[in-house]
Structure 1
Amino acid sequence: MSKAFVRDDGDEQEDDDPTPALPAGGKNYVTPAGYARLQAELNHLVRVERPQVVNVVSWAAGNGDRSENGDYIYGKKRLREIDRRLRFLTKRIEQAVVVDPARQENTDQVFFGATVTVLDGDTEFTYSIVGIDEADPGRGRISWVSPLARALLKARTGDSVRVATPGGVRELEILAVEYLSLD
């Protein structure tokens, strides 16, 4: 059988990245702070982490037998992981459309970058609508492609929106829409 049809354990898998893919034909909207974080991670990998791992692999390769050399084997694996992340970050940065919430003109309506306070039953929740790479539900930052954000988009203060959730359909009342600088 040809080597082309056999998966080697050293082969890379592009779909191992936990970050969701962009919607087909969609743009990679990102806040200025999110863009800066992507750039900082890329720079750290290129200038600090990758050169350190290359040095370790180079040193380990000089020690002779590579088949049982843990430093060499782990180093090569780590280099593949770093290179995959570098390709991912480079693509995301190239596709990025930076949207500054502070420059939003239509501040009474929910768009990308809005911080929305909603009433769900008797409980208030605050969500910021951010880019896919910035989403952190534990901090109230939801991706603009999430079902909740899609339901909130274009709504105004006082509107009620319906959101389909795994627990059933929820009705949320929008209490406030703000455009803050997200750090």
Structure 2
Amino acid sequence: MNKAFTKETDADDEDEFPAPRLSASGKNYITPEGYERLRLELLDLIDKERPKVVDIVHWAASNGDRSENGDYLYGKKRLREIDRRIRFLTQRLEIAEITDPGIHYGNDQVFFGATVTYADDQGHERTVTILGVDEAISAMGQISWISPVAHALLKARKGDEVTLVTPQGTQLLEVLKVDYPKAGRAVGKG
């Protein structure tokens, strides 16, 4: 049977990578900066990227045989990826609960949006910023508020020792410093 008459399966629309999980409460906390970054990505996909790919697919389809047309096949695949990302971003933004960490500026207790410096049992210091699951970038020292480390640190104060349970055993973490951005300042950038 000719490929032109086969229906793409629903499996083609399945996400390769599952969405980051939410907390047991179903909350999707995000900073104003994180929300804006996701919103701008969504608008860019809708207004620029998708129309550009649609034009390429349309042009490639007009060239004839689609079964061996690389531009057409790649374009259709890219279009599915873009549509999948648009659906994902739309769903995540709809359930997002924007939380401004700047309201805690000057506080020494750990809440969402805090930048925390802590020391482990061996005295190794680490600084992390606790952010939403859709905005945390581990390479930048950002962790999700539902991660085990964040769970251990949340609600602790400077000077407190908290217990972190890991597969390798239990660790004791000492909170050395707690910082929040001033209202209107980007989170995790200073």
Report the TM-score, using the length of structure 1 for normalisation: 0.89
More deviation, 137-146/80-89: 137-146
Matched, 1:178 2:182: no
1:10 to 1:153, Cα distance in 2 relative to 1, 3 A: closer
1:7 to 1:69, Cα distance in 2 relative to 1, 3 A: closer
Q: Gaps (5+ residues) in structure 1?
A: 1-5
Q: Gaps (5+ residues) in structure 2?
A: 1-6
- Give 4+ residue runs of structure 1 displaced > 6 Å after superposition: none
AA aligned opposite 1:82: I
Cα displacement (A) at 1:139: 1.6
Q: Match for residue 164 of structure 1?
A: 165
1:75-94 map, 5 Å: 75-94=75-94
Q: Match for residue 3 of structure 1?
A: none
Matched, 1:95 2:95: yes
Q: For 2:138 and 2:132, how far apart are their aligned partners in 1?
A: 12
1:159 to 1:24, Cα distance in 2 relative to 1, 3 A: closer
CA contact under 8 A between 2:119 and 2:126: conserved in structure 1? yes
1:72-151 map, 5 Å: 72-104=72-104, 107-120=107-120, 121-151=122-152
Q: For 2:169 and 2:11, how far apart are their aligned partners in 1?
A: 44
CA contact under 8 A between 2:106 and 2:179: conserved in structure 1? no
Cα displacement (A) at 1:98: 1.0
Local SS of the residue matching 1:132: coil
Local SS of the residue matching 1:161: strand
Local SS of the residue matching 1:97: strand
CA contact under 8 A between 1:10 and 1:77: conserved in structure 2? no
Q: For 2:139 and 2:169, how far apart are their aligned partners in 1?
A: 21
Instruction: Work out the percentage of aligned pairs sharing the same amino acid.
Output: 57
RMSD across aligned positions (CA): 2.0
1:111 to 1:20, Cα distance in 2 relative to 1, 3 A: same
AA aligned opposite 2:179: E
Local SS of the residue matching 1:11: helix
Local SS of the residue matching 1:157: coil
Q: For 2:92 and 2:67, how far apart are their aligned partners in 1?
A: 36
1:154 to 1:106, Cα distance in 2 relative to 1, 3 A: farther
Q: For 2:176 and 2:169, how far apart are their aligned partners in 1?
A: 22
Cα displacement (A) at 1:104: 2.3
Report the TM-score, using the length of structure 2 for normalisation: 0.86
Q: Match for residue 4 of structure 2?
A: none
